[in-house]
Chain A
């Protein structure tokens, strides 16, 4: 069973609107949680990295939150742009081995004009 579950699997939003993506994980204890953006046909690109003691991290219009008690994280996209159309991947690093990352399957976001 995957240790990182993301929802929804996909969503469509209108340009300028906000959206929130969810990530639930069972990796415990964990070292850090990352969000990546992957454009179609490209490699993942880092958006945010949060340690277990951080609650929020922002990168421009992207804001990630973390609740280590409930093992949930969310990624909020504000004022979406067409260039935000991509897959967003949640990644958790176990404390036992920071190199053996657990990846979610991703949420595909489509922004329409």
Chain B
């Protein structure tokens, strides 16, 4: 049971390049999400999904795309990287019983620098 696995751990991009952050979970969780963490700020929700084929926007979705073709995977795509997207990205997952306070499990993070 690996939990939530994110790749890559570190990445440097040039402005305008595109890339995909990978996220996979092996706990059969319905809910998956992507957050970014910036210095001095709380984690902010980018996109989330409550099941295969279902995605929705979070607080800061601009410049990012997601898809959920399987229960296990939830990749985050940066369409045209900008320096403002330099951040630490976390993928998270949980069972999808709303309102019951399910434990949310986080990946180890992906450090992205856009130059």
Residues of A within 8 A of B (CB): 2, 4, 31-32, 34, 41-46, 49-51, 89, 93, 95, 98-106
Do the beta carbons of B109 and A43 come within 8 Å of each other? yes
Segment 13-34 of B: residues with Cβ below 8 Å from A: 31, 33
Do the beta carbons of A95 and B99 come within 8 Å of each other? yes
Do the beta carbons of B42 and A99 come within 8 Å of each other? no
Do the beta carbons of A100 and B106 come within 8 Å of each other? no
- Complex: A101 Cα to B98 Cα, angstroms: 12
Do the beta carbons of B41 and A51 come within 8 Å of each other? no
Contacts of B41 in A (CB 8 A): 2, 105
B42 to chain A, nearest CB (A): 3
10 more contacts with CB within 8 A, not counting A42-B108, A50-B101, A93-B101, are: A2-B42, A4-B42, A42-B109, A44-B106, A46-B105, A49-B101, A49-B103, A99-B33, A100-B58, A103-B42
B76 to chain A, nearest CB (A): 15
Do the beta carbons of B50 and A103 come within 8 Å of each other? no
Q: With A43-B90, A100-B58 in contact, do A51 and B42 touch (Cβ < 8 Å)? A: no
B22 to chain A, nearest CB (A): 15
Most buried by A among B35, B44, B101, B109: B101
Contacts of A42 in B (CB 8 A): 108-109
- Complex: A96 Cα to B40 Cα, angstroms: 27
Most buried by B among A2, A95, A99: A99
The proximity string for B residues 53-70 relative to A, scoring 1 for CB distances below 8 Å and 0 otherwise, is: 000001100000000000
Do the beta carbons of B99 and A41 come within 8 Å of each other? no
A3 to chain B, nearest CB (A): 9
- Complex: A95 Cα to B100 Cα, angstroms: 10
The answer to whether the Cβ of B45 comes within 8 Å of any Cβ in the partner chain is yes
Do the beta carbons of B98 and A98 come within 8 Å of each other? yes
The answer to whether the Cβ of B107 comes within 8 Å of any Cβ in the partner chain is yes
- Complex: A61 Cα to B107 Cα, angstroms: 24
Do the beta carbons of B50 and A99 come within 8 Å of each other? yes
B60 to chain A, nearest CB (A): 12
- Complex: A51 Cα to B106 Cα, angstroms: 20
Contacts of A102 in B (CB 8 A): 42
